[in-house]
Amino acid sequence: MPDTHGPHLIRGARPLGGDPVDLLLADGRIAATGRDLDAPEGARTVDATGLIALPGLVDLHTHLREPGREDAETVASGSRSAAMGGYTAVHAMANTDPVADTAGVVEQVWRLGREAGYCDVRPVGAVTVGLAGERLSEIGAMADSAAGVRVFSDDGICVSDALLMRRALEYVKAFDGVIAQHAQEPRLTQGAQMNEGSVSDRLGLPGWPAVAEEAIIARDCLLAQHVGSRLHVCHVSTRGSVDIIRWAKARGCDVTAEVTPHHLLLTEELVEGYDPVYKVNPPLRTAEDVQALREGLADGTIDIVATDHAPHPAEAKETEWSTAAMGMVGLETALAVVQRTMVDTGLLTWADVADRMSAAPARIGRVHDHGRDLAVGQPANVVLYDPAAAVDVDGAAMVSKSGNTPFRGMTLPGRVRATFLRGTPTVLEGKIQ
């Protein structure tokens, strides 16, 4: 990354969509705010007229693939992709090869993130050894490692054994950790290819019932409350799941939940063309589910937006539906999709977006130097976003090594113009630095 250290004076930005102010970034922090600030000697001035300033985004659910699948993504390429999307911190999921189930592997991922320097990479530790669901991984050692892991997940595979899930929830209490569950009852989804319903019947594809997600969420909310631990539900996708989480919160369960951008916008009808770019776990659901997810995010039942950025090499997606890999890239388009589905529809304000995409994920992941207000003295993790822009999505033009975006060919609103990590620009004028 080029050496672009030194003070930066951001002119005329609109923090959280409010009135224009100047922001002076120096020595890794926000040094001053106000109107018509004087530029210190050597400061670089950034014209942010018409741009919204948000705290740097934090993603609780990213697949960076390294180690083991560097053909799809690396920590460096994924970090650059994150910066282009306005992210200053991401959590790298554990389903790598080798699996991130030891202190050694999580420290490797953490070091690779530091060396790349485009965003802070926080490794997620596996709940079970090898994601096999048989015995707990080195949870304590990963928590005590240099990476300081606080989020543990077998994402991609459900921790379906109730006793093992209980033990994991009990274990992470000792250091204020959280278990992030991939809610999918395996016996109900064997061979499933898409959402179970009239579309799957018509296409002749094995269906993925909503109850397979909802049953695990209900069980785990009760387990978390029983042991007094923190539970986070990954990629909520059904109306019933929103209802269960709302009920669990009302009864005092310490549960948080996420929704992906693609589940906020896309529906199962897209599968009718058998294009594997729309194959994802959990599957795209119905329009009624999409509406419930939007409402749940708006009222706080769903706490955050998380990308579930899942890059794949072209050959894993450009094949027949039944053999294609599941997953979609999402880091570079997340903020635009949230603008289209939540802000432009009046469901969220920009202050709400800052909460759902920065403050709340940082709080859940215990990332204490991210998700802060844009106030004097706070870390200078800032994204400048142009809500009036429009971008024609092209997977081939993305910074990620993979281009398997479900939004290809769409015109999405908004564009990240600049991202600052502790006052150093990782993106300027819409270009990676």
Residue 86, sorted as left (phi over 0), alpha (psi -120 to 50) or beta, turns out to be left
CB atoms within 10 A of CB 52: 25
Of all helices (H) and strands (E), which one includes residue 335?
Answer: helix 334-338
Contact 182, 396 (CB under 8 A): no
Binding residues for substrate: 63-65, 95, 281, 312
Closest CA to 282 of 61, 58, 70, 68: 61
151: helix, strand or coil: strand
The CA–CA distances, whole Å, from 56 to 106, 352, 400 equal: 23, 14, 19
Contact 290, 195 (CB under 8 A): no
Binding residues: 61, 63-65, 95, 155, 182, 235, 281, 308, 312
CA–CA separation, 433 and 335 (whole Å): 20
CA–CA separation, 110 and 297 (whole Å): 30
**335-354: buried (b, 16+ CB within 10 Å) or exposed (e) per residue?**
bbbbbbbbbeeebbebebbb
Catalytically annotated residue among 220, 289, 308, 386: 308
422: helix, strand or coil: coil
Query: What are the residues whose beta carbons fall under 8 Å from the beta carbon of 223, sequence distance 6 or more?
Result: 162, 165, 166, 169, 231
CA–CA separation, 238 and 256 (whole Å): 15
308 is catalytic: yes
Q: What is the largest CA-CA distance in the chain?
A: 67
The CA–CA distances, whole Å, from 336 to 15, 17, 23, 265, 299 equal: 17, 15, 24, 11, 20
ω into 282 cis (within 30 of 0): yes
> Which residues are known to be catalytic?
308
